[in-house]
Structure 1
Amino acid sequence: MQHILIANRAAIAVRAAQTCRGLGLRTTALAARTDTQAAAHVAAADHEVTVEGRGLPDTYDSAARVLDAVDRSGVDAVYPGYGSLAENADFVAGLEERGVTFVGPSAAALRLAGSKAAAAEAARRIGVPVLPHATGRGRDEVLAHVHAMGLPVVLKPEFGYGGQAVRITRTEADVERAVAGSPEAAGSAEAAGTSWYIEKYLPVNQVVGVTLAVDHGGNVLPLGERESLLVADGLKLLEASPVAGVDARVLEAMRADAALVAREFGLTNVMTVEFIVGPDRYYFLEVNGRLPLAYRMSESQLGTDFGARSGTVSGARPGTVPGARSGADSGTPPGADLVELQLRIARGESVSAAHPVDRTRHCLEARLFVHPQELADFPDVGTLDRFELPDVDGVTYARSVDPERPVTYELILAQALAADTSRAAAARLVRKAVDGARVTGLRCYVEEITRRLDDEC
């Protein structure tokens, strides 16, 4: 691994380029010609390769176009960040055929993790608790499973990504609308032909993500847990760590089961195993075999010298690349660098579990997602009349938007992370940051986040 294609964009691509530079690795940035905001992540890299097309499925998320970019750029490795290619088994298989290293799990492991039904059955076989579930296509088959299971249920596309088209259905009419492809119910015109994963709904619950790193020898490095505090339109707007209100013995059992799942699936690199926690027990939900969007929370709770080490690569911490900011923040809080850990594992290095997560350090992250109503003409999102984030001691931002340019391809304008000695203290810092943000021209959930933060302060 000497030359890395960064197959993503925006803040995570800037971070990856900075980390690679700190390790002495060359980078090529992937840029869609229709991406007016590509300047920041292109400037952070050593080279650029462009792709044609319009919209994520035809550019950054297109396995065919990105594989063509791999061929044209002559790279020997691909870093996907947390984009959809990070969990695309067909894309990874294409890299494997070319002898190009993928910074993430194998195609076979991703294929298993990518099917919600197959993943649940694999978890059940090794004794990890799962909710009642079934799969079906079409109205009659799905309704038959719903009748057997009993309402309410959660409907998810079996091979869905990022919470897309997930719906809680409380009536048969809800189920029929989802399966028929009603835009307001399922968010997809192709829903009628979708293979649906039907799961019993747990009314009182917390969703807990257990993040871990696994090397090619099966060694596991815990990277902390977090819970979702606010979800809207299928988007995680607010997450916190450590998890509150869950018995320590239950959390320890979830950590052990997450490691079991990772090993059973053959997953390597950095990943998150999600569980749903009810009043008296927990259940496996799914595996995200990629860097989590909340990776900076894990970094903040880890020490500065952790994880994979072989002595063959400089361990220098990545800094800001001179001249490459273009409005981009590195978003690196004090502590570890999970992108570096990913690269080291991909090189075949071993992880060490000798660096515990500091769960006395409370982290909270808010995400200014662009509201779905603003995305009707995606990838042309719109224009920002004003985009200012306040300087708040204790808060770091991940962002790469240049407000002077038309906004295209942006799903998240910024992420605000704070860490302190208590959740309330961290929440006050994030609330000060979000409340002080001046964002006009595009709606991005500022009011919803500040209202939820009031409950935590």
Structure 2
Amino acid sequence: MQHILIANRAAIAVRAAQTCRGLGLRTTALAARTDTQAAAHVAAADHEVTVEGRGLPDTYDSAARVLDAVDRSGVDAVYPGYGSLAENADFVAGLEERGVTFVGPSAAALRLAGSKAAAAEAARRIGVPVLPHATGRGRDEVLAHVHAMGLPVVLKPEFGYGGQAVRVARTEADVERAVAGSPEAAGGTEAAGTSWYIEKYLPVNQVVGVTLAVDHDGNVLPLGERESLLVADGLKLLEASPVAGVDAQVLEAMRADAALVAREFGLTNVMTVEFIVGPDRYYFLEVNGRLPLAYRMSESQLGTYSGARSGTDSGARSGAVPGARSGADSGTPPGADLVELQLRIARGESVSAAAHPVDRTRHCLEARLFVHPQELADFPDVGTLDRFELPDVDGVTYARSVDPERPVTYELILAQALAADTSRAAAARLVRKAVDGARVTGLRCYVEEITWRLDDEC
């Protein structure tokens, strides 16, 4: 691993390039010719390789186009960040055939984790609790499973990614609408031909993500837990750590089950195992075998915390992981660099839980200014920002790379605001001050919804 293709864009691509530079690794940025915002992540890398096409499926998320870029750029490793390519087993198989290192799990592990049905069955076999579930295609087959299971249910495309097309069905009419819906409703595939994963719905629930790192010897490094505080349109707009309202013994059991799942699946990487917690017990939901979007929350709970500074973190690395070199930037709270941890695991280094404990007395909240789906009708041409200003708030750092002077293309998220403090309420007040003080016009991005929800936490 000497020359890395960064197969992503925006803030995570900038962060990866800076981390690689700190390790003495050469980098090549992937850039779609139609991406008007590519300048930031291209400038952060040593080289650039362009791809044709238009839209994520035909550029950054296209296994064929990115494999061609691998061949043209002569890299010996690929870093995917947290895009859908990070969980694309066919893409990873193509890298394995070429002898190119993938900074993430193997193709075989991703195939298992990528099927919601296969993943649930694998979890059940090793004694991890799962909800009643089934898979089916077409109206009649799906309805037969729903009748056997009982309403309400959750319907998900079996191989969906990132919460696409997840529907709660409370009536048979809801089920029929989902199964007969538009291609967009099925995550970009024809709804009628989609394999649906049907899962019993828990009306009172809490979604908890357990993040961990696993090396090639099966050693596990816990990286903390977080919960979703606000979800809209399938997007996690606000997350918090540590988890509130769940018994400590239950959390410890989920950590143990997350490690079991990761080992059983053969996953090696930084990843998240998601559980849903009901009134009486918890259940396995799915595995995301990639860097979580909330990776900076985990980083801020590792190492010795000395307080966050206000600033723009467009990906800069900070702090140290076991055996890694330390560094600093102008905005990231001290802690572990999980991108560096991924790179070290990929080249065969070990992790040690004892060397880097999680400080769960440090409370973190992260708000995400996702572009509202109504703004994405002409995607990848998202639109233009009339104004885009984020306030300097002591204790808040941002991940962003949008240039408001250029047309906005390919952007699904404009910024992430992270704060850490000694209590959730204190961290929530900081994030609320940042989001409420943001001046974003021209594109809608959930500012009001996040602010209202933060009022409940302050």
Q: TM-score when scaled to structure 2?
A: 0.94
Q: In 2 relative to 1, CA 88–181 (structure 1 residues): closer, same or farther, beyond 3 Å?
A: same
For residues 156 and 20 of structure 2, the distance between their equivalents in structure 1, rounded to whole angstroms, comes to 36
Contact kept, 8 Å, 2:123 with 2:261, in 1: the verdict is yes
For residues 253 and 31 of structure 1, the distance between their equivalents in structure 2, rounded to whole angstroms, comes to 43
Q: Once structures 1 and 2 are overlaid, which stretch shifts more, 329-338 or 283-292?
A: 329-338
The CA deviation string for residues 321-373 of structure 1, in whole angstroms up to 9 with x for no partner, is 99999999986322110000000000100001332100000000000000000
Contact kept, 8 Å, 2:308 with 2:333, in 1: the verdict is no
Greater relative CO, 1 or 2 (CA 8 Å, sep 6+) = 1
Q: In 2 relative to 1, CA 149–280 (structure 1 residues): closer, same or farther, beyond 3 Å?
A: same
- Structure 1 unaligned regions, length at least 5: none
Q: In 2 relative to 1, CA 183–50 (structure 1 residues): closer, same or farther, beyond 3 Å?
A: closer
For residues 400 and 103 of structure 1, the distance between their equivalents in structure 2, rounded to whole angstroms, comes to 23
Where does residue 376 of structure 2 map in the other structure?
375
Q: In 2 relative to 1, CA 133–330 (structure 1 residues): closer, same or farther, beyond 3 Å?
A: farther
Name the SS of the counterpart of 1:279 in structure 2: coil
Name the SS of the counterpart of 1:16 in structure 2: helix
Where does residue 156 of structure 2 map in the other structure?
156
Structure 1 position 296, deviation (Å): 0.1
For residues 423 and 33 of structure 2, the distance between their equivalents in structure 1, rounded to whole angstroms, comes to 45
Name the SS of the counterpart of 2:267 in structure 1: coil
Structure 1 position 320, deviation (Å): 16
Contact kept, 8 Å, 2:240 with 2:363, in 1: the verdict is yes
Contact kept, 8 Å, 2:3 with 2:26, in 1: the verdict is yes
Q: In 2 relative to 1, CA 269–6 (structure 1 residues): closer, same or farther, beyond 3 Å?
A: same
The CA deviation string for residues 179-212 of structure 1, in whole angstroms up to 9 with x for no partner, is 0024786565611110000000001000000000
Contact kept, 8 Å, 1:327 with 1:400, in 2: the verdict is no
Q: In 2 relative to 1, CA 375–113 (structure 1 residues): closer, same or farther, beyond 3 Å?
A: same
Contact kept, 8 Å, 1:310 with 1:349, in 2: the verdict is no
Name the SS of the counterpart of 1:231 in structure 2: strand
Q: TM-score when scaled to structure 1?
A: 0.94
Contact kept, 8 Å, 1:78 with 1:103, in 2: the verdict is yes
Q: In 2 relative to 1, CA 29–346 (structure 1 residues): closer, same or farther, beyond 3 Å?
A: same
Q: In 2 relative to 1, CA 106–307 (structure 1 residues): closer, same or farther, beyond 3 Å?
A: farther
Contact kept, 8 Å, 2:53 with 2:59, in 1: the verdict is yes
Contact kept, 8 Å, 1:33 with 1:51, in 2: the verdict is yes
Q: In 2 relative to 1, CA 108–170 (structure 1 residues): closer, same or farther, beyond 3 Å?
A: same
Q: In 2 relative to 1, CA 3–306 (structure 1 residues): closer, same or farther, beyond 3 Å?
A: farther
Name the SS of the counterpart of 1:139 in structure 2: helix
For residues 441 and 313 of structure 2, the distance between their equivalents in structure 1, rounded to whole angstroms, comes to 44
Contact kept, 8 Å, 1:328 with 1:400, in 2: the verdict is no
Contact kept, 8 Å, 1:213 with 1:220, in 2: the verdict is yes
Contact kept, 8 Å, 2:270 with 2:342, in 1: the verdict is yes
Contact kept, 8 Å, 1:103 with 1:346, in 2: the verdict is yes
For residues 422 and 308 of structure 1, the distance between their equivalents in structure 2, rounded to whole angstroms, comes to 14
The CA deviation string for residues 148-167 of structure 1, in whole angstroms up to 9 with x for no partner, is 00000000000000000000
For residues 376 and 327 of structure 1, the distance between their equivalents in structure 2, rounded to whole angstroms, comes to 41
Where does residue 241 of structure 1 map in the other structure?
241
Q: In 2 relative to 1, CA 171–234 (structure 1 residues): closer, same or farther, beyond 3 Å?
A: same
Name the SS of the counterpart of 2:311 in structure 1: coil
Where does residue 413 of structure 2 map in the other structure?
412
Structure 1 position 70, deviation (Å): 0.3
Q: In 2 relative to 1, CA 327–154 (structure 1 residues): closer, same or farther, beyond 3 Å?
A: farther
The CA deviation string for residues 412-439 of structure 1, in whole angstroms up to 9 with x for no partner, is 0000000000000000000000000000
The CA deviation string for residues 71-107 of structure 1, in whole angstroms up to 9 with x for no partner, is 0000000000000000000000000000000000000
The CA deviation string for residues 39-63 of structure 1, in whole angstroms up to 9 with x for no partner, is 0000000000000000000000000
Name the SS of the counterpart of 2:435 in structure 1: helix
For residues 447 and 310 of structure 2, the distance between their equivalents in structure 1, rounded to whole angstroms, comes to 44
Identity %: 97
For residues 306 and 427 of structure 1, the distance between their equivalents in structure 2, rounded to whole angstroms, comes to 18
For residues 344 and 370 of structure 2, the distance between their equivalents in structure 1, rounded to whole angstroms, comes to 31
Q: In 2 relative to 1, CA 402–308 (structure 1 residues): closer, same or farther, beyond 3 Å?
A: closer
For residues 406 and 379 of structure 2, the distance between their equivalents in structure 1, rounded to whole angstroms, comes to 15
Q: In 2 relative to 1, CA 276–107 (structure 1 residues): closer, same or farther, beyond 3 Å?
A: same
Note the aligned Cα RMSD (angstroms): 5.1
Contact kept, 8 Å, 2:130 with 2:283, in 1: the verdict is yes
For residues 297 and 179 of structure 1, the distance between their equivalents in structure 2, rounded to whole angstroms, comes to 36
For residues 5 and 447 of structure 1, the distance between their equivalents in structure 2, rounded to whole angstroms, comes to 38
Q: In 2 relative to 1, CA 39–304 (structure 1 residues): closer, same or farther, beyond 3 Å?
A: farther
Contact kept, 8 Å, 2:32 with 2:51, in 1: the verdict is yes
Contact kept, 8 Å, 1:78 with 1:101, in 2: the verdict is yes
Contact kept, 8 Å, 2:307 with 2:420, in 1: the verdict is no
Q: In 2 relative to 1, CA 413–305 (structure 1 residues): closer, same or farther, beyond 3 Å?
A: closer
Contact kept, 8 Å, 2:367 with 2:431, in 1: the verdict is yes
Q: Once structures 1 and 2 are overlaid, which stretch shifts more, 323-332 or 35-44?
A: 323-332
Contact kept, 8 Å, 2:312 with 2:331, in 1: the verdict is no
- Structure 2 unaligned regions, length at least 5: none
Q: Once structures 1 and 2 are overlaid, which stretch shifts more, 176-185 or 151-160?
A: 176-185
Runs of 4 or more above 4 Å deviation: 182-189, 304-331
Q: Once structures 1 and 2 are overlaid, which stretch shifts more, 319-328 or 96-105?
A: 319-328
Q: Once structures 1 and 2 are overlaid, which stretch shifts more, 407-416 or 300-309?
A: 300-309
For residues 38 and 264 of structure 2, the distance between their equivalents in structure 1, rounded to whole angstroms, comes to 39
Q: In 2 relative to 1, CA 268–78 (structure 1 residues): closer, same or farther, beyond 3 Å?
A: same
For residues 429 and 313 of structure 1, the distance between their equivalents in structure 2, rounded to whole angstroms, comes to 16
The CA deviation string for residues 99-121 of structure 1, in whole angstroms up to 9 with x for no partner, is 00000000000000000000000
The CA deviation string for residues 277-329 of structure 1, in whole angstroms up to 9 with x for no partner, is 00110000000000000000000000169999999999996699999999999
Q: In 2 relative to 1, CA 184–170 (structure 1 residues): closer, same or farther, beyond 3 Å?
A: farther
Where does residue 224 of structure 2 map in the other structure?
224
Contact kept, 8 Å, 1:11 with 1:329, in 2: the verdict is no
Q: In 2 relative to 1, CA 223–399 (structure 1 residues): closer, same or farther, beyond 3 Å?
A: same
Contact kept, 8 Å, 1:309 with 1:350, in 2: the verdict is no
Where does residue 291 of structure 2 map in the other structure?
291
